[in-house]
Structure 1
Amino acid sequence: MLYNMVKENNLNQYEPIGITDDFMFFAVMIDEQICTRLLQELLPELKIKKVTTKAQSQIKGGREDKAIRLDIQAFDERGRIYDIEMQLSRDFQPKRSRYYKALVDMTTLLAGTDYDDLPPMFVIIFSPFDQFGDKERVSDYIVYCPKTHRALGDSTHVIYVNSKGVNGEVSPTMQKFLDPMNGQVGRKNALINDIAERMDYYNHNQEWRANRLEYETTLRHERKLGVDEGRKHGLDEAKMADALSVMVKFNVSAEEALDALGVPKSDQPKYLQMMKEKV
């Protein structure tokens, strides 16, 4: 009862959110027409005619994998794959794109595709921050040899779209999509108007707002679990270091050192394994 009262109060105090919110971005980009038109503006050289979209969302309570994901997979008429997400963190993690590429390839291979037939893949990351500090609007990263400048040709791209960028050309429509990411809202463009209408719908839809609130609660819980796990791991490392010090100082076995530190017998196998890996 108390949870429902708090939830209802939060919904009543709900403030409209913009496109940089990953839950809103997810809701907008799952629309195939909007996703197609935005990709056409971002990648005109690919001459994309139409894409189908697939939600890659996972909201789980477990810590075994990266549970919280709100990215979109899109597939065009030529079989090319686009993994699209909004990157909100200022704590830039380049290996995140590697993680997404690996997930997409593994899913494709499990579906029965031979590695020789893996389709071109584009991991597209929109960000309201200048992650690289180079002020580029769009950065297209491929694997290549720094010495010869020859591309490997594995048909993978990681594309960062920086709303704060001022260098490099994008289409007028693409720029009008980047403007709302910077808080500059305008509706004098057909695509942007359609996006704004879809956002208005969700901002005024109480069921969707409740789902987003649940998502935020789950995300906070996942983050707390991560912090708690990290803190616990740090304490374990400190305890292991103390045990190693006792072993050396008093010339005793690992078990005797752990006993001296008051580590319960039930917990000792964990520390023994950590010490084995350490030494």
Structure 2
Amino acid sequence: MSKDEHLNPYEPIGITDDFMFFAVMSDEEICTRLLQELLPELNIKRVTTRAQSQIKGGREDKGIRLDIQAFDEQGRVYDIEMQLSRKFHPKRSRYYRTLVDMVSLLTGDDYDDMPMSFVIIFSPFDHFGIDERVIEFIEYSPKHHLALGDEMHTLYVNSKGTKGEVSPTLQKFLDLMNGQVDRKNDLIDAIAEKMNYYNHNQEWRANRLEYETTLRHERNEGIDEATVKNALSVMVKFNVTAEQALDALDVPKPDQPKYLQMMKEKV
């Protein structure tokens, strides 16, 4: 949450906000149309959606996650999320792939009956540095030029990309992620209407605030506030980096990323 939003609770929230994306994509018609634009070769007719929010889930299940699972008429599964972190986490997609497969296994499907699955991650950052709009990954042996054929696909959709062909409507959605709203496009107009509704819904905004608060708590869990304060003092007094200050206070290396994030927020 930005500092500006604390000052102005009515500041519009955009589609790249993961809570907004989660709310909008829960709409089955919007979700269907976006998937049709992203994966036209699948000839998707209609999807049903299931929200996978776990804002107050247990620590054993990663606590907080916001993603949408969609299922089409052929049984294919789509796990869709907005990823806002500039830091690339390749094992995050592995975690979501595992969750997608668990859905099928828990319903009693045999291995051979497991559906084709897609993990789709939208992001306003070019995590791979190749300027592609859409990058698809499958299990593949480069030595033998052979795909594994497990029907598991992972797609990264980069709104800042300029390479690779996408449909005009999908490009309009990428433009929307970049802050450009074309109300002349039917899909974008429908999304904009949903966003306008949520932006003016006090209950929804209150739920989002609770989500943000819980998220910060999850991220900061286990952090000693006194250590943060002392580390900032050491930085100023001895003109050292944050990492050097934490080293001086004997903060274990594995714990330092949490402290560094907290220190950054306090500066």
Q: Same fold (TM over 0.5)?
A: yes
What residue is the counterpart of 1:151 in the other structure?
147
Specify every segment of 5 or more residues in structure 2 that has no aligned partner in the other structure, as ranges.
228-246, 254-267
Question: How does 1:173-252 map onto structure 2 within 5 Å?
Answer: 173-225=169-221, 227=223
Q: What SS does the corresponding residue of 2:10 show, helix, strand or coil? A: coil
Is the contact made by 1:11 and 1:210 (CA closer than 8 Å) also made in structure 2?
no
What residue is the counterpart of 2:28 in the other structure?
32
Is the contact made by 1:74 and 1:81 (CA closer than 8 Å) also made in structure 2?
yes
Q: Segments of 4+ in structure 1 off by > 4 A?
A: 9-12, 234-238
Identical-pair percentage: 76
CA distance in structure 1 between the partners assigned to 2:139 and 2:52 by the alignment: 25
Q: What SS does the corresponding residue of 1:41 show, helix, strand or coil? A: helix
- Determine which structure has more spread, i.e. the larger CA radius of gyration: 1
| Offset at residue 164 of structure 1 (A) | 0.5
Once the two structures are superposed, what CA deviation does each residue of 1:200-241 show, in whole Å capped at 9, x if it has no partner? 00000001010001100000100101656xx9xx96969xxx
Which of 20, 23, 26 matches 2:19? 23
Question: How does 1:160-171 map onto structure 2 within 5 Å?
Answer: 160-171=156-167
What residue is the counterpart of 2:87 in the other structure?
91
Q: Which amino acid aligns with 1:50?
A: R
Q: Does 1:79 align with 2:80?
A: no
Q: What SS does the corresponding residue of 2:221 show, helix, strand or coil? A: helix
Kindly report the root-mean-square deviation, in angstroms, between the aligned alpha carbons of the 2 structures. Answer: 2.0
Q: Which amino acid aligns with 1:70?
A: L
Q: What SS does the corresponding residue of 1:139 show, helix, strand or coil? A: strand
Is the contact made by 1:54 and 1:72 (CA closer than 8 Å) also made in structure 2?
yes
Which of 109, 112, 133 matches 1:113? 109
Specify every segment of 5 or more residues in structure 1 that has no aligned partner in the other structure, as ranges.
1-8, 239-279
CA distance in structure 2 between the partners assigned to 1:50 and 1:137 by the alignment: 24
| Offset at residue 53 of structure 1 (A) | 0.1
| Offset at residue 82 of structure 1 (A) | 0.1
Q: Does 1:103 align with 2:136?
A: no
Q: Which amino acid aligns with 1:133?
A: G
CA distance in structure 2 between the partners assigned to 1:118 and 1:214 by the alignment: 36
Is the contact made by 1:126 and 1:161 (CA closer than 8 Å) also made in structure 2?
yes
Is the contact made by 1:22 and 1:70 (CA closer than 8 Å) also made in structure 2?
yes
What residue is the counterpart of 1:3 in the other structure?
none
What residue is the counterpart of 2:43 in the other structure?
47
**Of 164-173 and 99-108, the range deviating more from structure 2:** 99-108
Q: Which amino acid aligns with 1:188?
A: K
**How many equivalent pairs are there?**
226
Q: Does 1:130 align with 2:140?
A: no
Q: Which amino acid aligns with 1:159?
A: L
| Offset at residue 12 of structure 1 (A) | 6.2
Q: What SS does the corresponding residue of 1:33 show, helix, strand or coil? A: helix
| Offset at residue 61 of structure 1 (A) | 6.2
Q: Which amino acid aligns with 1:51?
A: V
CA distance in structure 1 between the partners assigned to 2:72 and 2:222 by the alignment: 37
Q: Which amino acid aligns with 1:123?
A: V
Once the two structures are superposed, what CA deviation does each residue of 1:113-167 show, in whole Å capped at 9, x if it has no partner? 1111110000000000001000000001000001022100000000000000000
- Structure 1 residues 237 and 170, CA gap change in structure 2 (3 angstroms): closer
